[in-house]
Structure 1
């Protein structure tokens, strides 16, 4: 059994809770990275290179590591700091600390969760003061502590509830009644399950084999017009370009002896393809160097044979155009392309419909627009969204339901699964 290696960043007590939760799960291995001050997480991230995924036990450690995580495109999850956590924290304040839920200050990453809870409990912002550090760059622990302290000195609060242990320590030294929120077990369970799901998704993606067929368009006609020597020079130039490409993408290049080249690879090529739906530089480089059109057909599969068969289908799709083109046929035999040809869509109209019709927040809306641009407005599945956002399939399906309900997207077909199971739907923008 291949274990999922999870790097966990947090304080010792919290990591102990997470370790205890997974101790009976044989498919998980925890690598603890303990800190005493949250800012230490920035350096600890560098030491977790052997792990499959990074789990941050709280909002603040993730904020400290966010720049490195995004720069290196590290798979990461954080324990949710949500309404449930705030509700359980309020319960402890009222029942364990005997403090009424008024004249209270609280610091959180995002105030929207607090606002929802206050609304449900029919409390007002006049009774509870909220500090949100979501947009603080950088997060200043002393500033957050001063927020509580100033309210205390002004006689506006009787108690401070914090999400940061360092803030709790500062306030206790000043003899201000305070406590730090405790992460509920449910939130820990969800984060661990999400980490497993994302890793499994990434591993299944990396298990795919990519085959590519590359040929100069109308090569026989070029031979007849320019002679064998000129045609052979073109083939040598094409071969060199493909060798350079294979080094960048950890692939192999072979000649099939029939005026075509065959590329075999895995994750490296797949990542390059998915990152260049709109501008496929390999095709442009070939045509610029050879001064003639080139066709490329990529096939995806779980076996070399399946990938090669799909690559042949993709190359056939190239014959529909007089110009050089590139198509992909995936393991479900969906044809995607042509690559490098921008499929336009109305960005501002899409943004408005995401906000007003699908009711997505700003961040999700911008991310979805990026997703559509990167995929060149090709049909997609909920699995594609899960892979792009690095979230669970269930979370991706929730987003898809909102998009369908708001008529932002429409169903345009079904995936043809290569294993048993129900077909999965394919979607496209409803523009």
Structure 2
């Protein structure tokens, strides 16, 4: 039986009741709740989370309050987004059960344009409801006061709020109100996405890695070997005198890079060792990649060649980080669909951001990724096949030969 994915959820008391029943429809997940009275409590709750596999915020507001603290989180995270589905579900429930006309409604939402989109879709041409934007820069009390003012002026008959604490206060004042209703399908999809992120991250971290360590002959060989294997949690096999093959995982290697263990190690050791690691779809391929990477390594340098033939390094001098723990749900979803690594997709997004033009050739991307033209063409083909890139033209060269295909990325990169 597969192990359960343990998901920590930061949410309100009201959302806990709703998600508890829905989560029963998803196999192999465990839920642990961290409840707030106000979304601004999210950063504090973040520090209380016990070991788990993933984190989910029960709404956009708690996510925004905690956003600045998520960069150092060692697990993937996700949040339930408010969208047109949420708003249309809520308005349908209101009209069906309360018979409230839209002009007599006051509603607060993350993005007021979503309300306009829903009203446009249903071809509504009457007077629009009162719509108030919410964000972490708008105090909750200000939103509450707007609803109360409209009620006391007898301009509205009902309130829909996205903020649970506002709903509780309106109830105390006997002002008719309801909370925004997240569609069951949206909650299930969000839980499934969070589970998938965790499984993908674990898969990346558990990937086998082979390394080669080359140490000049001296009497400190045993000390260097012990230090490096301890740093990377590696086992080893001696190939010849002062030359060793190491076996570890991507997660252990990533941890050593993130915590700058290699930098401290280089400062402590005066013996100019060379070290390289390779990833691969098999141990053989990983060893081949490590052999290639070692050709680039100078004394005290570490290089990594991944399964896509991306050369990373030299560490610890390189400012570039090998990120195996991409938590962006969008990137992870693309990785799942295209079979490209999250690292490659992150690099492609960065490539797009740094270019002055939205159009590019395979050669442009190959130069940026520092991989062969053939490898780049395989990457682009996967993007095109899944609709994440498209052909927009051809570029004639001054020399004889085939014209070069021009591409554009077909997904959000900002």
State the TM-score, normalized to the length of structure 1.
Answer: 0.65
Give the deviation of 1:298 after TM superposition: 0.6
| Contact 1:7/1:54 (<8 A) preserved | yes
* 287, 290, 301: which one aligns with 1:314: 290
* 1:41-79 C-alpha deviation (Å, 9 max, x unpaired): 555444542321122222233344444444434422222
Aligned twin of 1:90: 91
Aligned twin of 1:181: 180
Aligned equivalents of 2:214 and 2:266: distance in 1?
A: 11
Alpha carbons of structure 1 residues 214 and 118: separation in structure 2 relative to 1, 3 Å: farther
Give the deviation of 1:98 after TM superposition: 1.7
Aligned equivalents of 2:286 and 2:44: distance in 1?
A: 44
* 1:70-114 C-alpha deviation (Å, 9 max, x unpaired): 443442222221110011112123222222222533222334433
Aligned twin of 2:246: 263
Aligned twin of 2:79: 78
| Contact 2:108/2:134 (<8 A) preserved | yes
Give the deviation of 1:287 after TM superposition: 9.2
* 1:371-393 C-alpha deviation (Å, 9 max, x unpaired): xx6569xxxxxxx8x94524475
| Contact 2:276/2:304 (<8 A) preserved | yes
* 1:407-426 C-alpha deviation (Å, 9 max, x unpaired): 468581437xxxxxxx9999
| Contact 2:213/2:276 (<8 A) preserved | yes
Give the deviation of 1:199 after TM superposition: 1.4
Aligned equivalents of 1:108 and 1:426: distance in 2?
A: 30
SS for the counterpart of 2:31 is: strand
* Pairing 1:370-381 to 2, within 5 Å after superposition: 374=321
SS for the counterpart of 2:52 is: coil
Aligned equivalents of 1:200 and 1:66: distance in 2?
A: 22
Alpha carbons of structure 1 residues 424 and 186: separation in structure 2 relative to 1, 3 Å: closer
Alpha carbons of structure 1 residues 338 and 179: separation in structure 2 relative to 1, 3 Å: closer
State the TM-score, normalized to the length of structure 2.
Answer: 0.68
Aligned twin of 1:141: 140
Is it true that 1:58 corresponds to 2:59 in the alignment? Answer: yes
Is it true that 1:389 corresponds to 2:328 in the alignment? Answer: yes
| Contact 1:297/1:318 (<8 A) preserved | yes
Alpha carbons of structure 1 residues 23 and 309: separation in structure 2 relative to 1, 3 Å: same
Aligned twin of 2:170: 171
Aligned equivalents of 2:45 and 2:297: distance in 1?
A: 52
Aligned equivalents of 1:321 and 1:40: distance in 2?
A: 48
Alpha carbons of structure 1 residues 124 and 315: separation in structure 2 relative to 1, 3 Å: farther
Aligned equivalents of 2:269 and 2:387: distance in 1?
A: 41
Structure 1: where are the runs of 5+ without partners?
220-230, 345-369, 377-383, 416-422
* 1:318-376 C-alpha deviation (Å, 9 max, x unpaired): 4368887644344xx4322151399x9xxxxxxxxxxxxxxxxxxxxxxxxx9xx6569
* 1:289-324 C-alpha deviation (Å, 9 max, x unpaired): 5485x543212357xxx4466235423344368887
Aligned twin of 1:191: 190
RMSD after superposition: 4.6
Aligned twin of 2:115: 114
Number of residue pairs matched by the alignment: 359
* 1:237-269 C-alpha deviation (Å, 9 max, x unpaired): xx6566445545444566544222443322443
* Pairing 1:345-424 to 2, within 5 Å after superposition: 374=321, 387-391=326-330, 393-394=332-333, 407=359, 412-414=376-378
Is it true that 1:299 corresponds to 2:278 in the alignment? Answer: yes
Aligned equivalents of 2:199 and 2:12: distance in 1?
A: 27
Aligned equivalents of 1:392 and 1:299: distance in 2?
A: 23
* 1:113-154 C-alpha deviation (Å, 9 max, x unpaired): 334334445669983343333342xx6332221232234455
